[in-house]
Every structure is written in C-alpha cells, then in structure tokens.
C-alpha cells in the first residue's frame, strides 16, 4: 500500500510536469471532439494522432493518446442525446433514452448525468487498473473462445428479452444485424462471403457506417418528413441540471455500469460497445419501471455511459499489465511505445514506473478535466438545438459523411452509411428498433469467430462449452434467463412486457 | 477604390504565380506531394517502417510525402487501390510479404485476382524481420524436435494460433509443418496481438510470432523461444537456433518494401531509388528502426526484385499444401 502511494506520488509528479499536463489536457480536448463528431471514433482519432507522438517522449505520447481514448467516451454521448446520432459506436444505446429525454426537454440533465457517470466510471476504474491490473489481466487471458461464445450467447438472450417493443420485431432485427455481420472474409477459411467482388467488403460492413446510417441519417430523413419540430428549444438554467430524483435514479446504474464495463473491457477482444448493451439490459431488468425505458429513462443513459468509460479503462489492463494488445486501440497505444524502443510485457510496470504511474495519474487528472470541460459544455451544446433545422441538418449530414469517410478513407463506407440510412428510415416508419441491428453487426463476427475457434480447439465437440467452468456458468445463466421468461406462462402474474402491452392498449383507448 | 482593385487582383496574381511555377516544374519529378499507401492500420509494421522512410524522403525530394492508411481485407484493399492508381510516381505502396500471397490465394479459390504481382514495380526493400517460435513457459516442449515428435504421435492435435488464415504467421508455421512432415491444428485469430493472447491464455500450444510482439514476454520468462526463421541467428537471441540449423529447410521473413505501380515512368523510379538509398543511410532512419527493433535490410530495385521472386516462390509452393479449408 505504502509502495502504491509512493508510486502514485511519482506518477503525479510526472503527470503534473508542464509538458505532460499539457498533453493530458490536449488528449482530453481532442478526445471530446472525436467523440462529438459522428463517425470518427476513438480508434480513428488515435490512429490519426499516432504519427504526431513520434517526436514526443513516450510518457507524453501515451498520456495524449490515452486521453483521446477515454475523452471520446465523454464526447460520444453529446450528439446521441441531442440529435439521436451516435458520436461513436459505443453511444448507440444512449441514443434511445437520451434522445427521448431531449424530446421531453431534459437534454441538459441527460448530458450532465452522462458526464458525471463517465467521471465516476473513469475514476473508479483507474483505481481498479492501479490495484488489480496484474491479477485481473492473467485471469482475463484464461477467457478463451468457448467462454467468450457462451458470454455472448447469454448477452443476446438478455437483449432479446430486455429491449422494448415487440419481442418478435426485436429478434427479427437482431437476426438482420447478424446476417449483415456475415458479409466479408470468412476468417476460418478465407472465403469471401456476400462481397460481390467488392474487395472493400472483405472486412465486412463496419459498425461505424451502420450506426451512423441507421441512427443519424435515418433521423435526418425522418425529420424532413415531420411538419412539426419537437418543442424542446428553450432550455432554462434550471433545466440544465438533473433534479434530485434524477440523481437518485442514476446512482446505482452508474455503479453497476462501472463494474460491468470494467470487467467486460478487460476481456481480450471485446468491444466496449458490448458493455453498453449489457448495461442497458441489466438496468432495464432491475428497474422498477422497465416500461419507461425507451421513453426517456435516465437509467438508460447513466448505465451505458458509465459502462463505456469503464470499459475503455478496462481495455488498458491487459495492455499495461502484460503488454498484450487485446484490441485495436490498445494495439495502437502499444505501437506508440514500441516506436520509442519500449517493449511492453509483464515487466513493463516494474521497468517503466514513470510511464505507467504517470499514465495512471494523468487519467485521474484527465477525468477531472473532462468533467470540468463537459459540464459547462452542456449549456453550450444545448444551444445547438436552437439552430434552425435547415442549417443544422445539412451540417450534420456533412459531418456524418466526412466522419465515416475518414475512418478508413473509403467511399464504400459512405455508400454503406447511405444505404443503412435509407433502411433505418423505412424501419422507423414501421416501428422497428434499430439498435438491435447495430448490435447484430457488432456481435456476428465475434460470435462466429469464437464459436468456430472453440470448435476447432475441441475438434468439433460441443462438450467444450460445458466442460470449461466459466463457460458453463454463462450457459446455465442463459438457461435461467429462458426459464425466467417463461415464468408468466406457469405462474399467474404479469411481467413488465405484459404491463407494457397493457399500457399501450390503455393509450389507444 | 484603389485598395479594392488591389484586393481583387491579389488572388489572381497569386493564382497566376502558382500556375506558372507548377508549369515550370512539370517536367522535373517530383513537383507535388507524394503519397505512400499503407494497406494496414496505423501501428503495424508496414506503417511504422513507412513513416520514418516518408520523413526521410520528404527531405530528399523537397516535397511533402504523406502516409495514407487504407486498411481492409488483410491488406488487399490498399494494395488493390495502389495497383490501379495513376502510375505517375506520386502514389507509392509500402507493402509486406503478404503482397505475394494474396494473388495466389485468389487463384486457389478460383476468383478473379485482386491484383497481380506484376502490377507493381519494386523500388526498394527496407526491412526484413524473421519469425520466432514461442511456447509458454509451462509447456512441455523444449525444442522444435519435441513438437515434431509430439505432432507425429498425435497428428492434428497440437494447436497453433495465427494472425489470420494465409496470413504472415500462418504461412511460416505451415512451411515448418511441411518440412517436418507433421500436421497441426490451426486456430486463426484476427491479428498478431490476439494470436499472442491465445498462446498466453493457454488456448493453443505454439505460435510463430513477430519478434517485437513477443519480446516483452520472452524477456519476462513467460514465453520460451525455440527457433527463429532467419538463415542466421538473431543478435537479440544468440542462444536460439535457426530452423535451418535444426535441419528444417525453412526461411521466412516479414519484410517491408516500397513499390510503385508497374507503369510508373523509369525516370521517376530512378529518382525514388536514389532518394531511398540516401534515406536508409541517414542516422534518423537507422535510429528509428533500431528503436523498433526492426532490422533494416536495404536492397535496391534489381536486387529487391530477385529477393522478392525467390521469396514468392517459397511461399507459393506451400499454398497447395495448406489448400482450402473445408
């Protein structure tokens, strides 16, 4: 403990040195911008910035890039809440209840809670990173393809049950997303699937163009068809801050989102977007009024926004503790160190205490900076809603196109975004939720890969899924979920889905 | 009034000036910015080698040289776009060893080739890095012979991970398996990092890794190196034998080279070759490569062509043995 405090002091003295402090703030600023701009996510932002860190010393470079990574999680919620356009893929869930809150004139509280939740999650998970990194990382490595597949199977089940509206429609949307996710090179055999000779489709259709298309473009198209603009445009100062009730409702979702996000973030190969879906589903399951989800429940903002911040921190655990790049963002961060001749490995924390503890301390500072930056920004961002649609929407459209193009400098991506926008518009008109489609696109390649890797490991025997304990636990939980869903059939009583249907019937009368 | 006239004239004069200078320079290559396409995301070998090279070329050629990442489909997207780009010397390609494999895999599957090897004119080889065979410290395997013996005893049971099917770590593993006359089970992953994660997590038995990715784990003792795929031992691992020493006729490098589209004018290629020769000799470039532990292996166009052809032949020979995964 004493040693940790001593190390942390070293870290703070590193982080507070003028140069490093400047780069931490720069990273947070750029990260917020990257998060706000639709399309450009943390990966694209960090990739674009990587070359500019070659001239810096490694500590400053890592502090800058990590700042962009967690800073993006703060910014991502802004456009999701105000315009229903995910600023980056991990903010898709925030679109649902965040935007519903904005329509009710509670955009300010939604933004504020997103910032506060991000701050709590960011800070708490840095503590986790500091104390638990090495043992957790070793545990996470044991998480192989069978465990991963079982976890995702459980996740899909939870979602099918938890998303609002018609279950059949939701399942159909998940399957549609999974089918979209089949496009691209089959990683096990090298075959091209459904790519029709377009080489750029080899990697499948990316989640960014799908998310921006289904949410952003579809929203713009739908608005053009609405004669009335939603009446949310004159926020008073009192409306900018969450009410006491809203604070109270957010405390536990933030706490749960933090823990869930951190744990999911550590698992090698997982995307932080998954943590937001899981958190949303968990909050809905635990809520006393699940029927409010989708209509502006603050828990639906607080949980996922905390989860994605904690997950981004969790993703750094295996990278810093073991030097293993478990995802694309940590891989770029590792490259930023390698370029300076530092080869991270299990000895990294011991050999490079200045870099490790400097980064930790800079993350504490960065989260404070981001909170101080984002809370006042709420008042500014909210004024975007005052801009007339005829000016605002062409601008958003332009940012969507530029953002999506910039990720891979690919016109094909812009095409995918446009098609998805049209599809999203049609689906909205028929009252289908589009979030499950995005989820399917994200999960399909991971589920397929882990299933087939697991079967390759077991030489085709499905026994591998229940012989490995962690995997078995997930599968048993999935089974319980199904039984739970069947309970109303056996016992008399209504679960929230019934109540939701009844409420709808009442509305119609 | 007078002021306003000037303000209107100024852009016109500026434009004329720029136009005339462009015309004057039109016959001397390079007269405008050059882009180097890297068909992989930032942070990979092709990217990390291209960037110091681009910085050096910028000084030599007195023109901006930009690195443009065009990732996708294991490099096929970027390489195809470079193959069909305007052959004027202003679009170059920084590619890895996989440039030889992709067209052959296309042929194996009977699909139209994404590009052909002949679409590219080599400018220079910049780096070549062998692979290192690693196992976990708890592994019973102490040598390549142990693995070969066990794989003979239990054919298809020993598992190895790779950065992707037909990818940079899959091919050398199969080259060794073919040379040793054994069959192993392949667990592809989406990249070099995940492949290492699979080994460290104990989900597979061995991995042919790029040395720099495994370096930290070898140093900490978590991974045990068994062999390298170069023809000479590596300076960083003097005790690790080469596969050739062990009696397996396998030589494999992840190399990175600079290419131009085939029809690029000879004069432009000459300028580029001279510039690259200057760049690789600069302390800045040497320093950058040394920091990344990536050995410089500079070869000029003709020599590079010979190296490339021989290398491609070795790789192409193994593909029918891997065959299609059913």
Is A19 in the B-facing interface, judged by CB distances under 8 Å?
A: no
B121/B150 same-domain check: no
B76/B138 same-domain check: no
Dmax over Cα atoms in chain B, in whole Å? Answer: 95
Looking at CA atoms only, how far is residue A469 from chain B in angstroms?
15
Q: Is the pLDDT of residue B1 over 50?
A: no
The answer to whether B109 contacts A185, with C-beta atoms less than 8 Å apart, is no
The answer to whether B190 contacts A143, with C-beta atoms less than 8 Å apart, is no
Containing B34, the helix (H) or strand (E) segment is strand B34-38
3-state secondary structure B109-176: CCCCCCCCHHHEEEEEEEEEEECEEEEECCCCCCCHHHHHHHHHHCCCCCEEEECCCCCCCHHHHHHH
Per-residue pLDDT for chain A (509 aa), expressed as one digit of tens each? 678 888 888 889 888 888 899 999 999 999 998 888 887 888 888 888 888 888 888 899 999 999 999 998 888 888 889 888 887 788 888 988 999 998 888 888 999 999 999 999 999 999 988 888 878 888 888 888 999 899 888 887 777 666 666 778 888 888 999 999 999 888 787 788 887 878 778 778 888 899 999 988 998 888 877 765 555 555 566 677 888 898 899 999 999 999 999 998 888 776 678 889 889 988 888 888 888 888 889 999 999 999 999 999 998 888 888 888 777 888 888 888 888 888 788 888 888 888 999 999 999 999 999 999 888 888 888 777 778 878 888 888 898 898 888 877 788 899 999 999 999 999 989 988 888 898 888 888 888 888 999 999 998 889 999 999 989 999 998 888 788 777 766 665 556 666 666 666 665 55
The whole-number pLDDT of residue B23 equals 47
Q: Rounded to an integer, what distance in angstroms lies between the CA atom of residue A81 and that of residue A110?
A: 7
Q: Rounded to an integer, what distance in angstroms lies between the CA atom of residue A275 and that of residue A90?
A: 8
Answer yes or no: is B189 within a domain: yes
- Please name the residue that has the structure tokens 């000779």: A197
Is A332 in the B-facing interface, judged by CB distances under 8 Å?
A: yes
Q: Rounded to an integer, what distance in angstroms lies between the CA atom of residue A263 and that of residue B37?
A: 37
Total domains present in chain A:
1
Looking at CA atoms only, how far is residue A279 from chain B in angstroms?
25
The whole-number pLDDT of residue A256 equals 94
| Residue B46 belongs to domain with CATH number | 3.40.190.150
Of B43, B166, B202, the CB nearest to A331: B43
Interface of A with B in 139-158 (CB under 8 A): 141-145
Q: Is the pLDDT of residue B243 over 60?
A: yes
B220/B139 same-domain check: yes
The whole-number pLDDT of residue B25 equals 47
| Residue B138 belongs to domain with CATH number | 3.40.190.10
Give the tokens for residue B99: 């440039």
Of B48, B109, B216, the CB nearest to A346: B216
- For residue A405, the tally of other CB atoms under 10 A from its CB is 18
Interface test with B, best of A69, A190, A328, A350 (most B CBs within 10 A): A190
Q: Is the pLDDT of residue B24 over 70?
A: no
Q: Rounded to an integer, what distance in angstroms lies between the CA atom of residue B93 and that of residue B308?
A: 15
Cα dihedral across residues A431, A433, A438, A440: positive or negative: negative
B57/B73 same-domain check: yes
Q: Rounded to an integer, what distance in angstroms lies between the CA atom of residue A402 and that of residue A17?
A: 36
Of B43, B193, B293, the CB nearest to A326: B193
- Please name the residue that has the structure tokens 């580029």: B272
B275/B261 same-domain check: yes
Is A245 in the B-facing interface, judged by CB distances under 8 Å?
A: no
Output the DSSP codes for A162-210.
Answer: HSSS-HHHHHHHHHHHHHHTT-EE-TTT--EES-TT-GGGGG---HHHH
B52/B119 same-domain check: yes
Domain of residue A153 covers: 2-508
Residues in B touching A347 (Cβ below 8 Å): 216, 219-220
The answer to whether B70 contacts A410, with C-beta atoms less than 8 Å apart, is yes
Dmax over Cα atoms in chain A, in whole Å? Answer: 71
Task: Return the residue of A nearest to B203 by Cα.
Answer: A144
Of B43, B111, B114, the CB nearest to A332: B43
Domain of residue B57 covers: 33-128+253-322
Residues 6+ apart with CB under 8 A from A141: A268, A318, A322, A324, B197, B200, B201, B202
Residues 6+ apart with CB under 8 A from B156: A459, B183, B184, B185
Is B326 in the A-facing interface, judged by CB distances under 8 Å?
A: yes
Looking at CA atoms only, how far is residue A324 from chain B in angstroms?
6
Burial class of residue B244 in the structure, from the number of CB atoms within 10 Å of its CB (0-12 exposed, 13-18 middle, 19+ buried)? middle
- Please name the residue that has the structure tokens 């961060």: A333
Task: Return the residue of A nearest to B55 by Cα.
Answer: A51
Residues in A touching B206 (Cβ below 8 Å): none
Distance set, CA B41 to CA A44, A141, A174, B212 (Å): 9, 24, 29, 17
Identify the domain boundary among B213, B228, B243. B228
Q: Is the pLDDT of residue B68 over 70?
A: yes
Is B190 in the A-facing interface, judged by CB distances under 8 Å?
A: yes
Residues in B touching A343 (Cβ below 8 Å): 212, 215-216, 219, 293
The whole-number pLDDT of residue A141 equals 84
Total domains present in chain B:
2
Counted residue by residue, chain A has a size of: 509
The model carries a pTM of 0.84
Cis status, amide bond into A7, omega within 30 of 0: no
Q: Is the pLDDT of residue B143 over 90?
A: yes
The answer to whether A47 contacts B201, with C-beta atoms less than 8 Å apart, is no
Residues 6+ apart with CB under 8 A from B20: none
Looking at CA atoms only, how far is residue A187 from chain B in angstroms?
7
Looking at CA atoms only, how far is residue B3 from chain A in angstroms?
34
Interface of A with B in 65-124 (CB under 8 A): none
Residues in A touching B201 (Cβ below 8 Å): 141-144, 268
Distance set, CA B68 to CA A81, A427, B35, B36, B294 (Å): 33, 37, 7, 6, 21
B144/B190 same-domain check: yes
Identify the domain boundary among B228, B261, B282. B228
Residues 6+ apart with CB under 8 A from A418: A213, A217
Nearest to A86 by CA among A270, A225, A219, A257: A219
Average pLDDT over residues B43-62: 88
Looking at CA atoms only, how far is residue A342 from chain B in angstroms?
8
Q: Predicted ipTM?
A: 0.83
Nearest to B308 by CA among B231, B316, B244: B316
Identify the domain boundary among B193, B228, B263. B228
Is B146 in the A-facing interface, judged by CB distances under 8 Å?
A: no
Is A460 in the B-facing interface, judged by CB distances under 8 Å?
A: no
> In this predicted structure, which of A36-40, A417-421, B158-162, B277-281 has the lowest mean pLDDT?
A36-40
Q: Is the pLDDT of residue B225 over 90?
A: yes
The answer to whether A338 contacts B48, with C-beta atoms less than 8 Å apart, is yes
Burial class of residue B143 in the structure, from the number of CB atoms within 10 Å of its CB (0-12 exposed, 13-18 middle, 19+ buried)? middle
Containing B302, the helix (H) or strand (E) segment is helix B301-322
The whole-number pLDDT of residue A61 equals 92
Containing B298, the helix (H) or strand (E) segment is strand B296-300
Using DSSP bridges, classify how beta strands B253-261 and B91-96 pair: parallel, antiparallel or unpaired: antiparallel
Interface of B with A in 48-87 (CB under 8 A): 48, 51, 67-74, 76-77, 80
Is A331 in the B-facing interface, judged by CB distances under 8 Å?
A: yes
Interface of B with A in 223-282 (CB under 8 A): none
Contact A410, A205 (CB under 8 A): no
According to DSSP H, which parts of A458-495 are helical? Answer: 464-467, 469-490
Between vectors from CA A106 to CA A101 and to CA A110, what angle results, nearest 5°?
A: 75
Task: Return the residue of A nearest to B324 by Cα.
Answer: A189
Q: Rounded to an integer, what distance in angstroms lies between the CA atom of residue A164 and that of residue A223?
A: 22
Answer yes or no: is B243 within a domain: no
Q: Residue B94, SS3? A: strand
Interface test with A, best of B36, B37, B39, B41 (most A CBs within 10 A): B41
Is B186 in the A-facing interface, judged by CB distances under 8 Å?
A: yes
B37/B105 same-domain check: yes
Is A44 in the B-facing interface, judged by CB distances under 8 Å?
A: no
What distance lies between CA B260 and its chain's CA centroid?
Answer: 15
Is B102 in the A-facing interface, judged by CB distances under 8 Å?
A: no
The whole-number pLDDT of residue B130 equals 92
Answer yes or no: is B28 within a domain: no
Is A387 in the B-facing interface, judged by CB distances under 8 Å?
A: no
Is A338 in the B-facing interface, judged by CB distances under 8 Å?
A: yes
Is B183 in the A-facing interface, judged by CB distances under 8 Å?
A: no
Is A199 in the B-facing interface, judged by CB distances under 8 Å?
A: yes
């Amino acid at each position: 403990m004493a040693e940790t405090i001593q190390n942390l002091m070293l870290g703070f003295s590193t982080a507070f040195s003028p140069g490093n402090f400047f780069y931490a703030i720069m990273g947070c600023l750029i990260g917020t911008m990257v998060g706000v701009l639709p399309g450009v996510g943390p990966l694209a932002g960090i990739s674009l910035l990587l070359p500019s860190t070659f001239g810096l010393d490694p500590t400053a470079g890592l502090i800058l890039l990590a700042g962009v990574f967690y800073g993006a999680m703060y910014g991502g919620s802004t456009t999701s809440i105000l315009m229903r356009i995910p600023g980056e893929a991990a903010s898709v869930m925030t679109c649902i209840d965040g935007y519903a809150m904005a329509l009710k004139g509670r955009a300010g509280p939604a933004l504020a809670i997103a910032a506060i939740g991000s701050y709590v999650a960011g800070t708490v998970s840095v503590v986790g990173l500091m104390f638990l990194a090495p043992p957790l990382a070793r545990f996470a490595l044991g998480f192989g393809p069978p465990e991963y597949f079982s976890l995702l199977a459980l996740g899909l089940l939870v979602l099918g049950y938890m998303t609002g509206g018609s279950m059949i429609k939701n399942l159909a949307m998940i399957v549609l997303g999974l089918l979209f996710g089949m496009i691209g090179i089959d990683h096990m055999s090298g075959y091209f699937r459904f790519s029709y000779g377009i080489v750029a489709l080899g990697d499948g259709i990316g989640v960014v163009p799908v998310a921006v298309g289904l949410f952003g473009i579809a929203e713009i198209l739908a608005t053009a068809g609405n004669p009335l603009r939603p009446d949310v445009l004159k926020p008073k100062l009192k409306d900018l801050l969450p009410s006491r009730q809203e604070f109270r409702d957010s405390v536990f979702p933030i706490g749960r989102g933090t823990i869930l996000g951190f744990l999911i973030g550590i698992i090698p190969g997982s995307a932080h977007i998954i943590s937001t879906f899981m958190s949303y589903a968990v909050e809905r399951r635990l809520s006393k009024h699940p029927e409010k989800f989708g209509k502006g429940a603050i828990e639906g903002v607080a949980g996922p926004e905390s989860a994605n911040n904690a997950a981004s921190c969790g993703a750094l655990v295996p990278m810093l503790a073991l030097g293993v790049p478990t995802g694309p963002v940590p891989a770029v961060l590792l490259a930023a160190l390698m370029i300076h001749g530092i080869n991270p490995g299990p000895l990294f924390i011991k050999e490079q205490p200045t870099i490790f503890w400097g980064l930790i301390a800079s993350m504490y500072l960065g989260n404070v900076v981001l909170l101080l930056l984002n809370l006042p920004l709420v008042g500014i961002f909210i004024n975007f809603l005052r801009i007339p649609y005829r000016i605002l929407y062409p601008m958003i459209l332009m940012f969507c196109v530029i953002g999506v193009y910039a990720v891979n400098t690919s016109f094909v991506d812009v095409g995918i975004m446009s098609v998805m926008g049209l599809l999203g518009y049609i689906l909205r008109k028929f009252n289908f939720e589009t979030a499950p489609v995005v989820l399917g696109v994200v999960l399909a390649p991971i589920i397929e890969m882990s299933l087939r890797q697991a079967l390759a490991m077991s030489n085709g025997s499905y026994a591998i899924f229940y012989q490995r304990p962690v995997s078995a636990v997930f599968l048993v939980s999935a089974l319980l979920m199904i039984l739970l869903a069947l309970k109303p059939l056996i016992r008399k009583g209504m679960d929230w889905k019934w109540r939701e249907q009844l409420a709808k019937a009442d509305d119609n009368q | 009034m007078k002021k306003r006239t000037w303000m209107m004239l100024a852009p016109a004069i500026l434009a004329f000036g720029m136009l005339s200078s462009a015309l004057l320079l039109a016959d001397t290559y390079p007269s405008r910015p050059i882009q180097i396409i890297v068909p992989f995301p930032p942070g990979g070998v092709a990217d990390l080698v291209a960037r110091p090279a681009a910085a050096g070329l910028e000084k030599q050629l007195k023109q901006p040289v930009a690195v443009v990442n065009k990732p996708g489909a294991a490099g096929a997207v970027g390489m195809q776009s470079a193959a069909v780009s305007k052959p004027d010397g202003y679009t170059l390609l920084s590619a890895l060893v996989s440039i030889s494999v992709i067209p052959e895999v296309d042929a194996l599957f009977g699909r139209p080739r994404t590009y052909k090897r002949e679409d590219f004119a080599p400018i220079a080889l910049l780096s070549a890095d062998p692979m290192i065979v690693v196992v976990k410290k708890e592994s019973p395997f102490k040598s390549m012979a142990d693995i070969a013996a066990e794989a003979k005893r239990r054919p298809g049971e020993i598992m190895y991970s790779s950065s992707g099917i037909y990818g940079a770590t899959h091919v050398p593993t199969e080259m060794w398996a073919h040379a040793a006359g054994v069959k192993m089970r392949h667990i592809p992953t989406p990249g070099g990092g995940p492949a290492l994660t699979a080994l460290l997590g104990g989900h597979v038995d061995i991995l042919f890794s790029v040395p720099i990715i495994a370096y930290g784990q070898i140093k900490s003792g978590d991974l045990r190196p068994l062999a390298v795929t170069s023809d000479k031992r590596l300076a960083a691992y003097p005790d690790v034998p080469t596969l050739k020493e062990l009696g397996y006729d396998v030589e494999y490098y992840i190399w990175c080279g600079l290419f131009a589209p085939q029809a690029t004018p000879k004069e432009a290629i000459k300028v580029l070759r001279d510039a690259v020769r200057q760049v690789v000799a600069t302390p800045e470039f040497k320093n950058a490569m040394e920091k990344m532990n990536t050995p410089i292996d500079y070869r000029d166009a003709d020599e590079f062509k010979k190296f490339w052809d021989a290398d491609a032949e070795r790789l192409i020979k193994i593909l029918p043995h891997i065959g299609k995964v059913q």
